[in-house]
Amino acid sequence: MVATTTRILFETFGATEVRVFYAFGWAAIAAFAWGVYVQIRKYRRGAALTLEGSLWARSRAMISMVLSHRSIDRRDAAAGAAHRLIFYGFTLLFIGTATITLQYDFLEPLFGIRFWQGEFYLIFSLVLDVAGIALIAGLIHMMIRRGWMRLPKLDYARPDRSPGDPDFDRPQYRREDWAFLWTLVIIGSTGYLLEGARLVWLQGRPDVWDTRWWSPVGAMLAAGFQEVGLNAGGAAMLRHGLWWFHGLLALAFIALIPYTKVKHIFTASGSWLARDALAAQRLPRIADSAAQPGVAKITDFNWKQLLNLDACTKCGRCHEACPARAVGAPLSPRDVILSLREFAHATLESGVLPDAAELDVHGKGPGQVSMETLWSCRTCMACVEICPVAVEHIPIIVQMRRKLVEDGAMDPLLTKTLQTIHKTGNSFGESKRKRGAWSKALPFTLKDARKEPVDVLWFVGDYASFDPRNQKVSQTFATLMQEAGVDFGILYDGESNAGNDVRRVGEEGLYEVLATSNISALAAAQFKTVVTTDPHSFNTIKNEYPDFGGKFEIQHYTTLTRELFRNGKLRVTRPLKYRVTFHDPCHLGRFNKGYEAPRELLTLLGCELVEMGRCRANSFCCGAGGGRIWVPDPVGVEKPAQNRMKEAAAIPGLEVYVVSCPKDLTMFEDALKTTGLEGKFVVRELIELIREAIPA
């Protein structure tokens, strides 16, 4: 009996009914295919882009990420678990449906091959029953998150719009979310009801009834149907109606995939396939053939960026992580992506492209992004780092900034700073000859790396060279290097602003001038490695200078200092025993994974390290990045650095807030005063703590 056990797909159906079903099936496939064509046409209307690296390596990485769900688990394990149930439940059910189609529509009519019977069929039934339960359980959890938990990150109200604006809170997205969840729940539930009704209908057949527990959910429903008095005749009618309802709903779901959020099944995978591992760390150059710098029209984005817009699942993780949004700025990375998606949908999915003026993505109209929103970004990479579907927000924002810079649409103080950098090579407006003036207070002379070989070339950076508070840190570091016997030197006035923040402002032309100048100076010197105390300089020299012909070995001072301790060239003689917390600089931490060296140093110094809630990859930006250190925040609005100081103040007994970036030192010392927390703890550079633990 077991050997012949199976399920006849169209049992009791007449030929007309079967033809009608197949007509609906082909219509669904046609609608799906047309939708796919429209989406591909939309992406092709974007600018060209050639991906780097092997397609095979990209495919392996994408498959690994999709199957493991690592990116979805991060910082929201419950959502990751629920999505995993939905993903694997849906995948198994899809494979099951495809397996039935394979036999009924291809192998059996063409070759007479039947395999969907016997033990295979029974195991198949059990697996799909379990898969359906997983799917429905995951969907119910997602419903609870939206309907009862009401997580703030799932609120689609926008910080860059006002109540009453047509796209302020986007109710269509909430409707789409609920429609998606309910449709899948109903498809899954009616599948079980259909199974239970079929069992009652065919209860007189031993091959069906005696093997019913291989479909445990259906078997339990069948028992329930019998308890309420459903007989075989009634079950046959119920099964027939459910069959059509379930089948047509499933076909409608397939047909609507390219037109709804369901397409993230494909676009998210495509986004991972096209992912640039250095998307924020290494911004794209402006092509020589480009008619203008940056993005003015939706078609100026490349096809991959248009794909990114569709990959967004509206999960709100970037919205939640963004430091600008957290302090009330008119920016949400999620809303930038969704606005551009809406704009692309309205302009690029029709048969004929609108006029150029109608493709402008800058402004305050529906789907456009305002200047205020773009300038609020700190380019801290929090959004890119947390995105579970590999959306690359920062290159999109910077490309739009490039157009604003070209048009002069920026804060007057930022304009003045860029002019100052262009004229003097630094953001302080000081003469180039003064770049090494801070070293005159040292009891020894720093080598000029332009004139004599050195083992270590120290790229000092603007703030460490010109800011009085940071000059003291530079003098301390130089002394430590000298005492450790390091053969090092600096470029003096041969060094210019590294350009990291200039580039993230969107002034690509000035960045290339600065990068070219520094590369020439570095290339002319003789050294083994570059060290810098500035994570911003570290990032661009490491990740972006190679695109301009400048490939140098470079390290942040924390890794060099750690090696000096390991080699015994520096020794702690007075353990500090401070209770400290450490701030991960964006450009050292998130950008370049430099998490361990600073913490190892603090341990070596004898400090008790207490982590803040937002640390390592989830560290909260000081607010200086992306050129924002040169632009004042609105009066009366909390600054990111102030928000961070309040977080640190919640640590019981905190004595020292430790930083390892000149800009962090500037931003946090100021925030400590303006938050009224001065005296509760101090902000210190890690270099200063090392000096204190090694008295001269």
503 with 542, same domain? yes
At 528, which amino acid appears?
K
Predicted local confidence at residue 368, as pLDDT: 97
363: left (phi over 0), alpha (psi -120 to 50) or beta: left
- The DSSP bridge partners found for residue 609 are 580
Residue 163 lies in a domain: yes
Write out pLDDT tens, residues 203-221: 999 999 999 999 999 999 9
Instruction: Give the DSSP H or E segment for 609.
Output: strand 608-609
Residue 162 has pLDDT above 80, yes or no: yes
Write out pLDDT tens, residues 271-304: 999 999 999 999 999 988 788 899 999 999 999 9
What is the 3-class SS of 213-268, one letter each residue? HHCHHHHHHHHHHHHCCCCHHHHHHHHHHHHHHHHHHHHHHHHHHHHCHHHHHHHH
559 with 583, same domain? no
581 with 649, same domain? yes
Residue 635 lies in a domain: yes
Domain CATH code at residue 72? 1.20.950
Of the candidates 690, 587, 585, 591, the residue with the CA atom closest to the CA atom of residue 644: 585
DSSP 8-state code for residue 46: S
Span 523-548, average pLDDT: 98
DSSP assignment of 132-158 equals HHHHHHHHHHHHHIIIII--GGG----
- Percent of the chain whose pLDDT exceeds 90: 95
Report the alpha-carbon distance of residue 571 to residue 643 in Å, rounded.
36
Report the alpha-carbon distance of residue 114 to residue 492 in Å, rounded.
80
Predicted local confidence at residue 339, as pLDDT: 97
Residue 548 has pLDDT above 80, yes or no: yes
Write out pLDDT tens, residues 575-626: 999 999 999 999 999 999 999 999 999 999 999 999 999 999 999 999 999 9
Residue 493 lies in a domain: yes
Q: Which long-range contacts (CB under 8 A, 24 or more apart) does 254-258 make?
A: 254/28, 254/29, 254/32, 255/27, 255/28, 255/29, 255/31, 255/32, 255/35, 256/31, 256/35, 257/32, 257/35, 258/32, 258/34, 258/35, 258/36, 258/38, 258/39
- Which residues in 598-634 are b (16+ Cβ under 10 Å) and which e? bbbbbebbebebeebebbebbbbbbbbbbbbbbbebe
Write out pLDDT tens, residues 465-496: 999 999 999 999 999 999 999 999 999 999 99
Q: Do 558 and 601 form a contact (C-beta atoms < 8 A)?
A: yes
Predicted local confidence at residue 464, as pLDDT: 98
- Domain end call among 200, 228, 259: 259
34 with 138, same domain? yes
Does residue 582 sit in helix, strand or coil?
strand
Span 522-549, average pLDDT: 98
Which two three-digit tokens encode residue 648?
């640190």
254 with 391, same domain? no
Predicted local confidence at residue 635, as pLDDT: 78
Residue 52 lies in a domain: no
Report the alpha-carbon distance of residue 105 to residue 381 in Å, rounded.
50
Q: How confident is the model at residue 657 (pLDDT cuts 50, 70, 90)?
A: very high
Residue 423 has pLDDT above 60, yes or no: yes
536 with 602, same domain? no
Report the alpha-carbon distance of residue 331 to residue 465 in Å, rounded.
33
Of the candidates 381, 378, 363, 346, the residue with the CA atom closest to the CA atom of residue 161: 363
At 679, which amino acid appears?
G
Edge-to-edge, what's the strand order for the sheet holding 456-459? 447-448, 488-490, 456-459, 529-532, 554-556
Predicted local confidence at residue 670, as pLDDT: 97
State CA 83 to chain mean position distance.
17
447 with 539, same domain? yes
Span 568-574, average pLDDT: 97
With 0-12 / 13-18 / 19 or more C-beta atoms within 10 angstroms meaning exposed / middle / buried, residue 122 is middle
Tell me how crowded residue 533 is: count the other CB atoms within 10 A of its CB. Answer: 26
Q: Which residue has the tokens 């991959």?
A: 304
- Percent of the chain whose pLDDT exceeds 70: 100
Q: Which residue has the tokens 């769900």?
A: 69
How many Cα atoms sit within 13 Å of 150 on the Cβ side?
Answer: 2
Residue 609 lies in a domain: yes
Q: Cα dihedral sign for 275, 276, 281, 285?
A: negative
Instruction: Give the DSSP H or E segment for 656.
Output: strand 656-659
Predicted local confidence at residue 556, as pLDDT: 98
Of the candidates 611, 630, 629, the residue with the CA atom closest to the CA atom of residue 621: 629
Distances (CA, A) of 670 to 442, 535, 581, 634, 678: 27, 20, 18, 16, 10
Q: How many domains does the chain have?
A: 4
Q: How confident is the model at residue 6 (pLDDT cuts 50, 70, 90)?
A: confident
238 with 160, same domain? yes
At 433, which amino acid appears?
R
Q: How confident is the model at residue 636 (pLDDT cuts 50, 70, 90)?
A: confident
Predicted local confidence at residue 155, as pLDDT: 94
- The DSSP bridge partners found for residue 657 are 581, 683
636 with 587, same domain? yes
Q: Do 107 and 161 form a contact (C-beta atoms < 8 A)?
A: no
Predicted local confidence at residue 282, as pLDDT: 98
Residue 5 has pLDDT above 90, yes or no: no
Mean residue pLDDT of the chain comes to: 96
Domain CATH code at residue 516? 3.40.50
Structural domain of 647: 569-693
Report the alpha-carbon distance of residue 530 to residue 408 in Å, rounded.
35
Q: Do 410 and 402 form a contact (C-beta atoms < 8 A)?
A: no
Residue 239 lies in a domain: yes
DSSP 8-state code for residue 4: G
Q: Sort strands 529-532 and 656-659 into parallel, antiparallel or unpaired.
A: unpaired
Which two three-digit tokens encode residue 121?
């069929």
373 with 434, same domain? no
Report the alpha-carbon distance of residue 439 to residue 491 in Å, rounded.
12
Report the alpha-carbon distance of residue 294 to residue 286 in Å, rounded.
7
Residue 2 has pLDDT above 90, yes or no: no
Q: Do 663 and 533 form a contact (C-beta atoms < 8 A)?
A: no
Residue 414 lies in a domain: no
Q: How confident is the model at residue 237 (pLDDT cuts 50, 70, 90)?
A: very high
Q: Do 381 and 394 form a contact (C-beta atoms < 8 A)?
A: yes
138 with 20, same domain? yes
Predicted local confidence at residue 1, as pLDDT: 56
Predicted local confidence at residue 287, as pLDDT: 84
Residue 81 has pLDDT above 90, yes or no: yes
DSSP assignment of 80-145 equals HHHHHHHHHHHHHHHHHHHHHHIIIIIIHHHH----SSHHHHHHHHHHHHHHHHHHHHHHHHHHHI
- Domain end call among 409, 443, 458: 409
600 with 503, same domain? no
Span 51-71, average pLDDT: 96
Residue 514 lies in a domain: yes
Predicted local confidence at residue 3, as pLDDT: 65
Q: Do 572 and 604 form a contact (C-beta atoms < 8 A)?
A: yes
